[in-house]
Every structure is written in structure tokens, then in C-alpha cells.
Amino acid sequence: MSQAEVLITMLMEVFNISRDEIEDDATPDDIESWTSVSHMDLMARFEDTFGLELDVEEITEMDSIGAIKDALKNHGIEI
């Protein structure tokens, strides 16, 4: 499974959404289940799965699917 597919699977599982709902401009305003708790769950999964160490600033800046992808790309994750 590619890293992009791993990301999509994580987003679907954590936010309990379908693949169709994963759009770069989607934010917590668009995804009802995107709460601070689910956001931190997602960040922990990123750290575990991709071996990352995310700082508080990065975590708070990941406020859309597109921003998440950009942050992961900055860590060398091929999305």
C-alpha cells in the first residue's frame, strides 16, 4: 500500500468518513467528526506509522486535508 493510500485509510478511519469526503479544502468545519480529540488521534497515528516527530506548531497548522498533505510532504512522505 502506498503512503498516499495509508493516509487516505487513516483519514477514513479516524474521521469515520468515505473516500469521497476527502478533499484538499476539507476542514473541521466540513467534517463533523474532526474534533480536537480525533485530530490528536490522527497525529499520533502519523507519528507511529510514518516515524515522525511533529511539533505543536505543525499539529495546529494541519487545519485542512491539504495542509495535512503538505506537512507530511515536508517530512518526506510521498503523498
Residue ranges of the alpha helices (H) in the chain? Answer: 3-15, 36-50, 56-61, 65-74
The answer, as to whether pTM is greater than 0.75, is: yes
CB 55 within 8 A of CB 12: no
As a whole number of Å, the CA-based R_g of the chain is 11
Give the pLDDT of the chain (79 residues) as one tens digit per residue: 999 999 999 999 999 999 999 999 999 999 999 999 999 999 999 999 999 999 999 999 999 999 999 999 999 999 8
Domains located in the chain, CATH noted: 3-74 (1.10.1200.10)
